[in-house]
């Protein structure tokens, strides 16, 4: 592997400089590294683009095994590389469910074979995601996949005893339970956020308290047990306040927000377009503003995509019958730029923290979320922050097209991604 000289890049949005990659490692960072690079080095003219550590997504649905009509590990990791990601955590709601060492090892090895980004499987908390019996947490952790994050995402671990046992079990090896906070009895028949819009449209309402009550219970359980709990796709202002309170008590809780919950509101549902149907549902303007502020002040730790691909027929139907979920890997950074950077709530160092450093720390993703400095793995993302363009799903690397941003103008474009010094994306094209 030859040397690569990234010339004139703004590392974390700072002053332009050079970054030299040698093999799979950052060899040097500083002004005018041409002499150190030597004559045979590959030159990438950054021209003032922003260089970030490779992004890490703690919440991705790759669908394989079982729903390869929606996504595969190959297409999902290609989408990830297109969006600037060098590592993703694959959710357990596959077919069969990733509740055994065998299934998580299959997903892990598929990621290694395809090589567009690292894939770290998330193990199910309960057998079959049924919420009745703990899955093989220890066996999944001890497997080749080395699972440290466990979640029944798509379903809530609503039994408090099961949740307590899971927290106790993962504590032994420093794992974390990532909870999909949804009290099922409060959301029976729910189609969208409960509020003025749901009342006007006559759609079943999904109350904020269905999320908030589970978060309140689980942070108290985590405090009681002395274990780690992570809140998936937090979506309400009330949830923010509960997490903020829990952190003030020293409870070991982390939380994520999706890009779509930072930008979109329940007003979009007036179109009855199922592309806006997602779990948890799009909330109000007040919730969106609270989520942005919480991400800025660190109450919410990370941005996670909840990339949820579906085939055309599962979304192109009447609202009530449509599947929930949106794809997000290829647009996440642009949405964060629009909602957080261009509004002055975060700088690019803050984006690197929320989309690379912290998710890597929460998930224990070795070699990712590291500083852009000499001696560190060359997992890097180059972003043209001056770019603005319309989202065209036809150009997605993902197998699915269920994006809420089709035709919408968004800022920023990932031009290059490197995984351990190997280019997976060059000039916006997958290698």
Q: Does 141 show up as a binding residue in the annotation? A: no
Q: Tell me which residue of 313, 235, 250 sits closest to 280, measured CA to CA.
A: 235
In the chain, pLDDT over 70 holds for what percent of residues?
100
The mean of the pLDDT values for the chain is 97
Q: Which of 335, 363, 391 finishes a domain?
A: 363
Instruction: Please indicate, yes or no, whether residues 296 and 386 belong to a single structural domain of this protein.
Output: no
**To which residue do tokens 């019996």 refer?**
133
Q: Tell me which residue of 14, 2, 78 sits closest to 49, measured CA to CA.
A: 14
Instruction: Please indicate, yes or no, whether residues 159 and 267 belong to a single structural domain of this protein.
Output: yes
Q: Which of 363, 390, 421 finishes a domain?
A: 363
Peptide bond into 253 cis (omega under 30): no
Instruction: Please indicate, yes or no, whether residues 256 and 387 belong to a single structural domain of this protein.
Output: no
Instruction: Please indicate, yes or no, whether residues 340 and 285 belong to a single structural domain of this protein.
Output: yes
**pLDDT above 80 for 285:** yes
**pLDDT above 70 for 1:** no
Q: Looking at residue 388, what is its pLDDT?
A: 98
Q: Looking at residue 115, what is its pLDDT?
A: 86
**pLDDT above 80 for 396:** yes
- Cα–Cα distance for residue pair 363/325, rounded to 1 Å: 23
Q: Is residue 370 part of a domain?
A: no
Residue 51 CA: distances (Å) to CA of 29, 85, 371:
11, 13, 11
Q: Does 224 show up as a binding residue in the annotation? A: no
Confirm whether 306 is a catalytic residue.
yes
In the chain, pLDDT over 90 holds for what percent of residues?
99
Q: Does 61 show up as a binding residue in the annotation? A: yes
Instruction: Please indicate, yes or no, whether residues 46 and 75 belong to a single structural domain of this protein.
Output: no
User: 9 is in which domain, residue-wise?
Assistant: 4-50+375-430
Q: Is residue 113 part of a domain?
A: yes
Q: Is residue 265 part of a domain?
A: yes
The beta-carbon contacts of 337-340 under 8 Å, at least 24 apart in sequence, are 337/385, 337/410, 337/411, 337/412, 338/263, 338/410, 338/411, 338/412, 339/259, 339/262, 339/263, 339/292, 340/262, 340/292, 340/295, 340/296
pLDDT tens for 96-137 read: 999 999 999 999 999 999 989 999 999 999 999 999 999 999
- Cα–Cα distance for residue pair 188/185, rounded to 1 Å: 6
CATH number of 419's domain: 2.30.40.10
Neighbours of 101 (CB within 10 A): 19
Q: Does 153 show up as a binding residue in the annotation? A: yes
- Cα–Cα distance for residue pair 326/387, rounded to 1 Å: 23
Instruction: Please indicate, yes or no, whether residues 254 and 224 belong to a single structural domain of this protein.
Output: yes
What is the pLDDT averaged over residues 165-186?
98
Q: Does 316 show up as a binding residue in the annotation? A: no
Q: Looking at residue 106, what is its pLDDT?
A: 97
List the structure tokens of 276: 């806006």
Q: Is residue 66 part of a domain?
A: yes
Q: Does 306 show up as a binding residue in the annotation? A: yes
CATH number of 217's domain: 3.20.20.140
Instruction: Please indicate, yes or no, whether residues 235 and 383 belong to a single structural domain of this protein.
Output: no
Q: Looking at residue 335, what is its pLDDT?
A: 98
Q: Does 114 show up as a binding residue in the annotation? A: no
Q: Does 310 show up as a binding residue in the annotation? A: yes
Instruction: Please indicate, yes or no, whether residues 304 and 247 belong to a single structural domain of this protein.
Output: yes
Strand residues in 280-358 grouped as ranges (E):
302-303
Q: Which residue among 158, 306, 353, 384 is the active-site one? A: 306
Q: Does 5 show up as a binding residue in the annotation? A: no
pLDDT tens for 296-314 read: 999 999 999 999 999 999 9
Q: What are the φ and ψ backbone dihedral angles of 215, each rounded to 5 degrees? A: -60, -45
**pLDDT above 70 for 283:** yes
What is the pLDDT averaged over residues 239-259?
98
> In angstroms, what is the C-alpha Rg of the chain?
21
Instruction: Please indicate, yes or no, whether residues 228 and 179 belong to a single structural domain of this protein.
Output: yes
Q: Tell me which residue of 330, 344, 319, 317 sits closest to 413, measured CA to CA.
A: 330
pLDDT tens for 321-334 read: 999 999 999 999 99
Q: Does 62 show up as a binding residue in the annotation? A: yes
**pLDDT above 70 for 246:** yes
Half-sphere exposure of 273 (CA within 13 A, CB side): 12
Q: Is residue 369 part of a domain?
A: no
pLDDT tens for 214-228 read: 999 999 999 999 999
End-to-end CA distance of the chain: 15
Instruction: Please indicate, yes or no, whether residues 380 and 317 belong to a single structural domain of this protein.
Output: no
Q: Is residue 31 part of a domain?
A: yes
Instruction: Please indicate, yes or no, whether residues 380 and 353 belong to a single structural domain of this protein.
Output: no
State how many domains the chain has. 2
Q: Is residue 368 part of a domain?
A: no
**To which residue do tokens 């000289």 refer?**
5
Half-sphere exposure of 136 (CA within 13 A, CB side): 13
Instruction: Please indicate, yes or no, whether residues 132 and 34 belong to a single structural domain of this protein.
Output: no
Q: Does 354 show up as a binding residue in the annotation? A: no
Q: Is residue 111 part of a domain?
A: yes
Half-sphere exposure of 106 (CA within 13 A, CB side): 17
**List of residues 6+ apart from 350 with CB closer than 8 A:** 296, 340
**What pLDDT band is residue 2 in, cutting at 50, 70 and 90?**
confident
């Amino acid at each position: 592997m030859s040397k690569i000289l990234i010339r004139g890049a703004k590392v974390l949005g700072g002053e332009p400089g050079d970054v030299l990659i040698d093999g799979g490692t950052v060899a040097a960072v500083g002004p005018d590294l041409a002499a150190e690079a030597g004559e045979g080095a590959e030159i990438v003219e950054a021209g003032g683009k922003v260089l970030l550590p490779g992004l890490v997504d703690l919440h991705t649905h790759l669908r394989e095994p079982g729903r390869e009509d929606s996504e595969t590990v190959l297409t999902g990791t290609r989408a990830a590389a297109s969006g600037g990601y060098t590592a993703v955590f694959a959710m357990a709601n596959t077919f069969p469910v990733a509740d055994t060492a065998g299934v998580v090892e299959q997903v892990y090895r598929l990621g290694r074979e395809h090589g567009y980004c690292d894939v770290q499987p998330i193990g199910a908390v309960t057998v079959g995601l049924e919420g009745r019996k703990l899955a093989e947490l220890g066996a999944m952790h001890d497997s080749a996949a080395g699972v440290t994050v466990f979640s029944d995402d798509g379903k809530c671990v609503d039994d408090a005893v099961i949740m307590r046992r899971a927290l106790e079990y993962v504590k032994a090896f420093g794992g974390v339970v990532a909870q999909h906070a949804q009290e099922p009895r409060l959301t029976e028949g729910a189609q969208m956020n409960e509020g003025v819009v749901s009342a006007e449209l006559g759609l079943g309402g999904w109350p904020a308290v269905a999320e908030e009550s589970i978060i309140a219970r689980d942070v108290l359980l985590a405090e009681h047990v002395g274990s780690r709990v992570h809140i998936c796709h937090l979506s309400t202002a009330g949830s923010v306040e509960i997490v903020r309170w829990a952190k003030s008590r020293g409870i070991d809780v982390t939380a994520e927000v999706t890009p779509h919950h930072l930008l979109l509101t329940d007003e979009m549902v007036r179109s009855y377009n199922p592309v806006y149907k997602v779990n948890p549902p799009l909330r109000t303007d007040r919730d969106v503003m609270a989520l942005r502020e919480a991400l800025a002040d660190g109450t919410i730790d990370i941005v996670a995509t909840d990339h949820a691909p579906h085939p055309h027929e599962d979304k192109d139907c009447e609202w009530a019958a449509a599947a929930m979920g949106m794809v997000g890997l290829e647009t996440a950074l642009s949405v964060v730029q629009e909602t957080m950077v261009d509004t002055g709530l975060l700088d690019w160092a803050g984006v690197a923290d929320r989309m690379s450093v912290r998710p890597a720390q929460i998930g224990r993703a070795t070699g990712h979320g590291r500083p852009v400095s000499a001696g560190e793995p060359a997992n890097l993302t180059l972003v043209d922050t001056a770019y603005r363009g319309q989202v065209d799903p036809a150009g997605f690397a993902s197998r699915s097209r269920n994006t809420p941003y089709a035709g919408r103008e968004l800022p920023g474009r990932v031009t290059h991604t490197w995984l351990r010094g190997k280019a997976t994306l060059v000039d916006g094209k997958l290698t």
